[in-house]
């Protein structure tokens, strides 16, 4: 029983030690894990979510750029002022 206790204490000390290389070790472990999933492509959930978010953001930003270009600077300033006034009412 004392062997398990000392082993648990050693693991706890190892996990909670604060040394300058700890952050670097964690960073390396995370990068290694990300590289692993990137190479294997086994994380379909993350790929699906990331692709959906990126495509949605891309569509939204492209639409915003086109609307901004069509309206011009003066109209956009008026729209921004109107939005600010509406938001200040609440």
> To 5 degrees, how large is the angle CA 55–CA 57–CA 63?
100
Integer Cα distance of 83 and 90 in angstroms: 11
Report field, pTM of the whole predicted structure over 0.85? no
CB burial of 6-22 (b: ≥16 within 10 Å; e: otherwise) equals eeeeeeeeeeeeeeeee
Q: Which two tokens stand for residue 62?
A: 């492209």
> pLDDT 10s per residue in the chain (90 long)?
455 666 766 666 665 555 666 667 777 888 888 888 777 766 666 677 888 888 888 888 888 888 878 888 888 888 888 888 888 887
Kindly state the tokens that stand for 6.
């000392």
Distance CA 33, CA 11 (A): 21
């Amino acid at each position: 029983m004392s062997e398990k206790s000392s082993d648990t204490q050693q693991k706890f000390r190892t996990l909670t030690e604060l040394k300058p290389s700890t952050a670097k070790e964690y960073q390396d472990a995370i990068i290694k894990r990300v590289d692993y999933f990137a190479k294997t492509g086994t994380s379909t959930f993350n790929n699906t979510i990331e692709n959906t978010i990126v495509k949605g953001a891309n569509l939204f930003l492209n639409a915003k750029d086109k609307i901004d270009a069509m309206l011009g600077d003066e109209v956009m300033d008026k729209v921004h002022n109107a939005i600010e006034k509406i938001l200040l009412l609440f």
